[in-house]
Structures are given as structure tokens and as C-alpha cells.
Amino acid sequence: MFSYSIIDSEFDYQQRDKINGEYAIGTYCIINGIHIVGSTISNRSFFKLRFNKLVKYLHNLSYYYRAHFYSRVEILQIQIDPVLNTYYNPIIKTFWLRLIQRHWKKIFHIRNEKIFQLKKIEFLKRREIGKAFIRFPRLKGMLSMYSHTA
């Protein structure tokens, strides 16, 4: 099924205790409304393995949670349950990366449109007489719509 090199190279990583706040690449499951880290993989192995092998490996590694397993590989921040100390709660960070990528893609498109406008003769004439001003959208503030402060 898997070469022993994957299992051997991951043995130390899988056996060590995770640290509170540590980031990991892996999968999670939801049991009774509680998110639980299903399985994780080291960064070194993540870059070595093909993605389909990686998903199979993570799926087989979390055999206990298979019924509730999510096969999406995510970037997780691990939080140790303060009461029981027996399982890890994941905070899914990949969501925010996708959100930033989507917004930056829109801003990049707007910036390219404005650069195209700068090249037009009409704009050059207005700039020459001092009446041309174009504001470029920036990275700073691009996610301000998600801010809860008024």
C-alpha cells in the first residue's frame, strides 16, 4: 500500500506531542459538533509526496475517525483541549488564504485596468495640465469589509 519510507520518515513526527498553537498540514474530522485533528504530516513529507498519495496516507492514518473524515488537506493551527488534554482542536487557516487570494485577484484586475487607463491619450492630456489623479487599490485595507468595528 505505502512504501515503508513514508511511514518510517513520518514515525518520529507522528509520535511526538503537538505543541499548543503549532501549525500543521493535515486533515480534520467533526464528531458531535467538535472539530478534531484527524492526521497531520510533516512539511518535509508534504513536499516530497504526490498529492493523491498524501491524501491516501492521511486517510489511512486517521482510521479511528474515518466515518467523519474530511479528505481536504488544510493548514491547521493546533489547539490542545484545555479540559481533557486528550485531543487537538484545529483552527482551519487555509480558509483565510483563499479569501486573501480571491480579494487580491480582484484588486490586481482593478490595478491593471487603471494602468491601461494611464496609457490613454486623454489621461496624458489631463496629466499634462495637472488635472489627472488615479488612486490605486492596495493590499492594506483590502479585507476591511470583514472588520466588525464601525
pLDDT band at 109; cut points 50, 70, 90: very high
84 Cβ partners below 8 Å, 6+ apart? none
pLDDT value, residue 71: 61
- pLDDT at 1 exceeding the cut of 60: no
The model's pTM is 0.61
Q: Quote the CA–CA distance of 47 and 74 in Å, as a whole number.
A: 14
Q: Quote the CA–CA distance of 96 and 92 in Å, as a whole number.
A: 8
Q: Quote the CA–CA distance of 87 and 36 in Å, as a whole number.
A: 7
Read off the pLDDT of residues 42-64 as tens digits, 9 standing for 90 and up.
888 888 888 888 888 887 777 55
